[in-house]
A = this chain, B = another copy of it.
Amino acid sequence: MFDLKAFLAQKTQLINQALAAILKTADKPDRLLEAMSYALMAGGKRIRPILCLAAAETVDGDPRNVMPAACALEMIHTYSLIHDDLPAMDDDDMRRGQLTCHKAFDEATAILAGDALLTLAFQILSSIPINNQRQATQWLRVIHLVSQAAGYCGMIQGQMLDMASEKRRFTLDELKSMHRLKTGALIEASVCCGAELAGAKADQVQMLEKYAQHIGLAFQVTDDILNVEGDPDIMGKAVGTDARRCKTTYPALLGLAESKEFAAQLVQSALETLDAFDQKADPLRAIARYIGERNR
């Protein structure tokens, strides 16, 4: 039986070490770097970088070659959280069990720390020593995938729609496509980057992309469920906020029981897309199940 807990702990440690090493390259810490580090090292679930590493292992790649991409993905995720938490957006006070960046520092510093993490992600992705053309084009392709997923046709558009969802009730299709953009795009990019950098074949990348689509949506459905019935102490952030903001959510549209059923179906579909892979896909299988059952 595959031990997911040990796998997650080991990968999280490696990712945290790699992230800390990147931030340590600065000669002297300053307020900007402190704010970046405060947000980045606060101990998130590291789902995106773990997916990136696990996808590489699924197609027999060396996860060490993929680590810069994994770190860049977590930086982009963290920047998006810092900006989403700002007073002009979701105006949240707590994140990852600590004060949000603009509460711990100030609004200007939080905006710039987010900008700096986004920019640093692309600096990391373009800093890999290149030995051959295949490698150079692979990393260019990864930069393209990541920028597309994070950009105005992806995550940022999703955040625009998310804010709109507080003003009027979304249909189920609108809700799905909002989440596909807001969280799905970067999750898909995480899996695809890991696979591509590990030299996956086109049909393998396609199957893994489908897997990522299913778990990305499942992740969001369980996020909505946790916002209704999660434990704020375990989650490190407030619950019940969606209802207070009158946001359209899966529980609001489908009810709690049917939302849980929907999440379970998505996990099942994700597992089926992995049928063509051997036991090296066990981490991805376990992650899919974990997303369906998570409590934080």
Instruction: For residue A163, give the distance in angstroms from its CB to the closest CB of chain B.
Output: 6
A125–B143 CB distance below 8 A = yes
Q: How far is the CA of A79 from the CA of B89 in the complex (A)?
A: 18
Q: Kindly identify which residue among B26, B88, B136 contacts A111, using a CB–CB cutoff of 8 Å.
A: B88
Contact across chains for A120 and B108 when beta carbons are under 8 A apart: no
Q: Is A83 an interface residue (CB 8 A)?
A: yes
Copies of chain A in the complex? 2
- In the complex, are the beta carbons of B143 and A126 less than 8 A apart? yes
Partner of A160, one of B30, B88, B119, B148: B30
- The answer, yes or no, to whether A183 is at the interface (CB within 8 Å) is no
> In whole angstroms, what is the CA distance A108 to B85 when docked?
11
Complex Cα spacing A116 to B119, Å: 12
Contact in complex: B160, A115 (CB < 8 Å): no
8 A Cβ contacts from A234-289 to B = none
Tell me if A206 counts as interface (CB < 8 A to partner B).
Answer: no
Residues of B within 8 A of A108 (CB): 86, 88-89, 163
Say yes or no: is A99 at the interface (Cβ < 8 Å to chain B): no
Q: Are B88 and A107 in contact (CB under 8 A)?
A: yes
User: B115, B153, B160: which contacts A31 (Cβ < 8 A)?
Assistant: B160
Q: Contact check, B83 vs A151: say whether CB atoms are below 8 A apart.
A: no
Q: How far is the CA of A143 from the CA of B120 in the complex (A)?
A: 11
Interface string of A62-89 (1 = CB under 8 A from B): 0000000000000000010001001011
Question: Known: A30-B160, A160-B30. Is A120-B147 also a contact (CB below 8 A)?
Answer: yes
| Distance A112 CA – B140 CA, assembled complex (angstroms) | 24
Q: Would you call B109 and A33 a contact (CB within 8 A)?
A: no
Q: Cβ of A32 < 8 Å from any Cβ of B? A: yes
Interface residues of A in 3-50 (CB under 8 A from B): 26, 30-33, 36
Report whether B111 and A83 are in contact in the complex, using a CB–CB cutoff of 8 Å: yes
Q: Which of A127-135, A169-177, A195-203, A218-226 contacts B (4 or more CB under 8 A)?
A: A127-135
18 intermolecular pairs with C-beta atoms under 8 Å apart: A26-B153, A32-B152, A32-B156, A33-B152, A36-B152, A83-B111, A86-B108, A88-B106, A88-B107, A114-B115, A115-B115, A116-B156, A119-B156, A120-B151, A122-B122, A127-B144, A136-B136, A136-B140
